[in-house]
Amino acid sequence: MSDAVVSNSDKQGAQPTRAAQSWFSRALDSDLFYSFRRSKLTMVAAAITVLFFLLAIFASALAVQNPFDPAQLQLMNSRISPLWTADGQSPFLLGTDEQGRDVFSAILYGMRISLAVGVAGVIFAGALGIGLGLIAGYFGGAVDGVIMRIADVQLTFPAILIALLVNGIAKSILGNRLDATSMLVVLVISIGLSFWVGYARTVRGSVMVEKNKDYVAAAQLIGLPAPKIMLRHVLPNTMGPILVIATINLALAIITEATLSFLGVGLPDTMPSLGTLIRIGNNYLFAGEWWIVAFPGLALAALILSINLLGDWLRDALNPKLR
């Protein structure tokens, strides 16, 4: 089973990039780009999203310390307020937390985790959903029935519940072997398993439509194998809606990760993501040490808001009926 997946993705390597590219260049020419330039709000949102991604990618260059390395934290520097307040101290722009962790650096590194988990979760969910959607749509019949019934069941549960369940099960199976790395994997899997249905339904729908078209029959006639037809011809046609789902899912995945961390079932406190920072900071909010929760909270809200705005715009732009 896993071998088959690997070989598929190997073949996938060269061609779909071209397909995606052609789709992308088509998109740039089209009214998609036009509507992007027309909406100032969308441009701001895109700018913020890109900025956050850059901040996360170059976190180690921008941060004054590595907040995940306990040796770099000085307890002496704990609970310093932001730079512009009376007690502020350089280089701690946004102040420090209880452990002497620079809040700005912690946000950068935390954002990196949030985005990494979000993106990986979305990719995992997308791969799973697209794969199952293709299989269900192409083969139809009993296979389709089983996959779509599972999707129905899954859809009845909100993502956060599924994520919490996966998390709880992983904890009870792995127990004390659960270190930071495997926790990351568990987070990605629990998010991925919560969001695959959207992709599967969309892909299945378009496959059902496309597979009866003449070009597919023609391709079948010249002897192209089924996976090849689907990946080369059918899949590119679903890219638009999938991109919309992926964008909106990214925001949801980031919220889910933050919520899990806020509930205390995410990454350990020594490796805080944005949700963990907010949970820890929440304890100091009422003590007047507001900056520990306020800035991570703002960063998280801004990130999700911009991604959502992008997703909204993308959906409207790709679906002229709604405009």
The site for other proteins (CB under 8 A) is made up of 69-71, 73-76, 78-79, 98-100, 149-150, 152-153, 156-158, 160-161, 164-165, 167-169, 171-173, 176, 179, 251, 255, 258-259, 262-265, 268-270, 275, 278, 282-289, 293, 297, 300-301, 304-305, 308-309
Please identify, using beta-carbon distances, which residue of 55 and 265 lies nearer to other proteins: 265
CA 49 to CA 59: how far, in whole Å?
15
CA 71 to CA 168: how far, in whole Å?
31
Collect all residues with Cβ–Cβ distance below 8 Å to 37 and sequence separation of at least 6: 43
CA 82 to CA 104: how far, in whole Å?
10
Give the CB-side neighbour count of residue 161, counting CA atoms within 13 A.
Answer: 5
CB of 205 to other proteins, least distance (A): 11
Please identify, using beta-carbon distances, which residue of 229 and 279 lies nearer to other proteins: 279
CB of 264 to other proteins, least distance (A): 6
Q: Which one, of 104, 100, 63, 67, lies nearest residue 83 by Cα? A: 104
Q: Which one, of 254, 265, 261, 253, lies nearest residue 277 by Cα? A: 261
Please identify, using beta-carbon distances, which residue of 50 and 161 lies nearer to other proteins: 161
Q: Which one, of 122, 27, 45, lies nearest residue 312 by Cα? A: 45
With contact defined as beta carbons under 8 Å apart, do 135 and 147 qualify? yes
CA 131 to CA 137: how far, in whole Å?
10
CB of 156 to other proteins, least distance (A): 4
CB of 124 to other proteins, least distance (A): 20
CB of 55 to other proteins, least distance (A): 19
CB of 49 to other proteins, least distance (A): 13
Peptide bond into 272 cis (omega under 30): no
